[in-house]
Structure 1
Amino acid sequence: MMLARSHITKSFLNRQSLSSLTSVSKFSSTSSASAKKSDSDITRIPIKHLGVMAPYYIPPPIFSSPFSSWHKLVLRRWGQFFYNTYSIYKFKSDTGKAPKFEAWKDSAIAIFIKTNKAFAEKKTQLLMDETVGVQTFNSLHERSETIPKHTKLEWELVKIEENPKVVSFNALPDPNGVTGMIQFVMKLRSTQRVTVKTAGAEPTSTERTSTDYLVYSLDPYSDEMCLVGSLFECDHLRPIQPDLESVSNYKQMVAFQKECADIFREKPKRNN
């Protein structure tokens, strides 16, 4: 069944309605980015098999949250700042290297552009290198297969609206407690343009500004990096410490990583 062109464009640009254009099987099997045993050495796992390792804290906007929670949100932002600072110190202490945030962000943006272009053009095979994680590749490929046959999409990054920011920096330890891998979350606010071409109709273009929280895995020793998923802003009730009970066993972790790997999934409703 062919979808209306305007609806397709809106779906691609707006994460909340993308599922109306493409879909991913909720219960299809995928490879896990995490080992079954808690003492597994992450340095032995290929970087593109490392999915999002935890529900990292993404601070919500203060002024759009209930007034009664403002003071707590300010304190949590300070807490997140101190946590990130400690993780950076841990990284420097263990590796003897200085963090290269600007270079990492440049690489992350390049991966974001390549990923969106490949998806729009139904060329997800171009992402089979180290561009994206295995689960993210599977999700993108499955969604691209559901784009209507006679519909062609062109994607363009029009403008980066503000300096991309690393909002969460996590030094993941090996069994000896030494930093073996990095996962960071980059906030990217950008304006994107999608052009929809359908047989027998004039092309239509739509621009939309969106904010994405993209999760990347990074080998701190080789600088190898790949996009492994995305997260959303937390609600005003959630503390900084993630609810690890929700990903406490292998089955829960697989489900969590599969969900995060789908970077075009709908944004959940926030608590009021």
Structure 2
Amino acid sequence: MQVVGRRSSSLLLRRSQAFPRLLSFQQVQLYNNFQAKRLLSTSRILFEETQADEGVATKSKKDKNKLPEFNPKFMGVATQIFIPASKKNLPSIFSQPMTVLKTWIRRIYMFGLNTFKIGLFRMQSGIKPSFLLWKNNAIENYIEVNKAFACKDVTKIKNHVSIWVERALIMRSQSLPKHIKLDWHIIKFNEIPKLMSLDPIMAPGMPLEYIQLVYRFNTKQELIKINTETNESEKQVKDILDYLVFLCDTNTNEIMLSGSIFENKPGAPLPKQATADDKKEILARMRECGDIFRLPPQAKE
């Protein structure tokens, strides 16, 4: 009996030591409570610092030194999220076999890692994931955000988006011509929305109840621009591919849009391990990803 007990304990020890090594490849330091506190508090402190730079009154230094309560609105896309290149963007296997092979290996790796994180989340939180409900709520959130932007009334969805998305939407809404009226709606989903990535997030001083979800929305959308001065209208129908990042409260199943990302180039390596030390890098990423209507890097080039 003692031999069996020793073997079991040594096996559990090896498994527990293997978990951090596996997660380090995915840059998920939010599994560690200490790193989570630093990263989540950094998001809010960074926002307060940017407000101070813009002349907005902020809290005293004494209050800043105190760890703020977790507010999901301040949680933007703080880490690099790896999205393997889709099949249509892969080169021919005959021309670049190694690139295609690396992409498929990383795609399989991401699938296995996401499966592992689902099990880890269920084990640590005791919550059964409601994937269908979360997906439907994410779709509703996506539609509400786009409609609110088209109506130039971002205040309607301020409680359903992060502070980084809200600021970006307000700036883009203010840049639209006043004589242009927009009418937007989704014609159809070209494919079933797909969950691409998930990351359990531990908020400071709270049990594990938040989870970050990344969905791929491949849609056909219609946008009508109406000139109120000339009564002329312009209709645009386009296929849009979005990778949207949501923060989900698993207790209430409420969804909040945190930002958007793009898929990685074919053969791209996994990003380096995330860290909460580089505030400038975190701030730049949350600001950039908060602008959900920005062009992809390929289009910019």
Q: Secondary structure at the match of 1:188?
A: strand
Task: Work out the CA distance in 2 between the residues paired with 1:245 and 1:91.
Answer: 20
Which aligned pairs between 1:103-122 and structure 2 lie closer than 5 A?
A: 103-122=133-152
Quickly say closer, same or farther: Cα 1:43–1:94, change in 2 above 3 A: farther
Q: Secondary structure at the match of 2:142?
A: helix
Quickly say closer, same or farther: Cα 1:238–1:170, change in 2 above 3 A: same
Task: Work out the CA distance in 2 between the residues paired with 1:215 and 1:233.
Answer: 12
* Residue number in structure 1 paired with 2:170: 141
Paired residues in the alignment total 234
Counterpart of 1:259, as a letter, is: E
**1:185 correspondence with 2:210:** no
* Residue number in structure 2 paired with 1:77: 107
* Residue number in structure 1 paired with 2:43: 33
Q: Is the 8 A contact 2:187 2:220 kept in 1?
A: yes
* Residue number in structure 2 paired with 1:90: 120
Which aligned pairs between 1:1-272 and structure 2 lie closer than 5 A?
A: 33=43, 44-62=69-87, 64-66=89-91, 67=96, 68-129=98-159, 131-174=160-203, 179-198=208-227, 199-240=229-270, 242-244=271-273, 248-269=277-298
User: Could you report, residue by residue, the CA deviation over 1:190-248 in whole angstroms, capped at 9, with x for unpaired residues?
Assistant: 011001100214222111011100000112223232001000011124223x2346874
Task: Work out the CA distance in 2 between the residues paired with 1:176 and 1:132.
Answer: 23
Quickly say closer, same or farther: Cα 1:225–1:84, change in 2 above 3 A: same
Task: Work out the CA distance in 2 between the residues paired with 1:95 and 1:156.
Answer: 37
Task: Work out the CA distance in 2 between the residues paired with 1:207 and 1:79.
Answer: 36
Q: How far 1:53 moved relative to its partner?
A: 2.7
Q: Which structure has more helix as a fraction of its residues?
A: 2
Structure with higher RCO (Cα < 8 A, 6+ apart): 1
Across the aligned residues of Structure 1 and Structure 2, the Cα RMSD in angstroms comes to 2.6
Counterpart of 1:155, as a letter, is: W
Q: How far 1:171 moved relative to its partner?
A: 1.1
Quickly say closer, same or farther: Cα 1:87–1:34, change in 2 above 3 A: farther
Any gaps of 5 or more consecutive residues in structure 1?
Answer: 1-30, 37-41
Task: Work out the CA distance in 2 between the residues paired with 1:166 and 1:248.
Answer: 29
TM-score after normalising by structure 2: 0.72
Q: Is the 8 A contact 1:124 1:140 kept in 2?
A: yes
Any gaps of 5 or more consecutive residues in structure 2?
Answer: 1-40, 47-66
Counterpart of 2:102, as a letter, is: K
Q: Is the 8 A contact 1:191 1:207 kept in 2?
A: yes
Quickly say closer, same or farther: Cα 1:35–1:223, change in 2 above 3 A: farther
Q: Percent same amino acid at aligned positions?
A: 31
Q: Secondary structure at the match of 1:179?
A: coil
User: Could you report, residue by residue, the CA deviation over 1:50-86 in whole angstroms, capped at 9, with x for unpaired residues?
Assistant: 1013111111024533423111111101100011001
Q: Is the 8 A contact 1:43 1:174 kept in 2?
A: no
Counterpart of 1:119, as a letter, is: F
TM-score after normalising by structure 1: 0.79
Q: Is the 8 A contact 1:62 1:70 kept in 2?
A: no
